[in-house]
Structure 1
C-alpha cells in the first residue's frame, strides 16, 4: 500500500482522516497520525533553526544562539564556565539611555 503523505508515514486511509486526525474538540490526536505530526514538527523546527542560525550569533562557550551577546561574545547564562570566561563578571545588559 502506497503512503499518502509527503513524509511517507501515512496510508491513504490515515491521511484522509477528518481534521488531520484531531478530535472534534481538537485536543486528542488519532494514534495513527502521531508519527506524521512528529515528523511535521521536526521539519518545521529544522527550518526555523536554519533561519535563526543565519540571523543570530552563537555564544562562544555553549553555542546557544542569542539575539545579543555581551562584550565577551557570551550569552546571558551565569554558569561557572560563563563566569570564568568573563573573568568573574556577570552578564549586565546595557540600560536605557535617556
Structure 2
C-alpha cells in the first residue's frame, strides 16, 4: 500500500507532541487518543499532519488546498465548544470533496 497523506483533525487543545518524552501521565491522559492515532499512522508509513481546530475552518481549508491530503482522519467531537456543530465540520469536508473517516453529516 502506498503511503497516504493523512490530515488528522483534533481539538486545538489536544494536539499531541511528537514524543511522550518529558510528558507527565496526567498530560498524556488528555491527548492519549490523538497521540496513539497519529503515531500509529506514522508507524504504518503514512505522512501525517495533525491540525488543531477550535472555532474557525480557515486553517482546515488552507490545509486541504495547500497540502492536498488523501484523507482526513476526523477526531473532533465538537466545534466552537458545541457538540452538535461537529456535523458542520463534516459537511465542510464534503463541500471541499475531501475524503474523511467517520459518518456523513
TM-score tier, shorter chain, comes to under 0.3
Normalising by structure 2, report the TM-score.
0.19
Query: Which of structures 1 and 2 has the bigger CA Rg?
Result: 1
By relative contact order (CA 8 Å, sep 6+), the higher-ranking structure is 2
Q: Which has a greater percent of strand?
A: 2
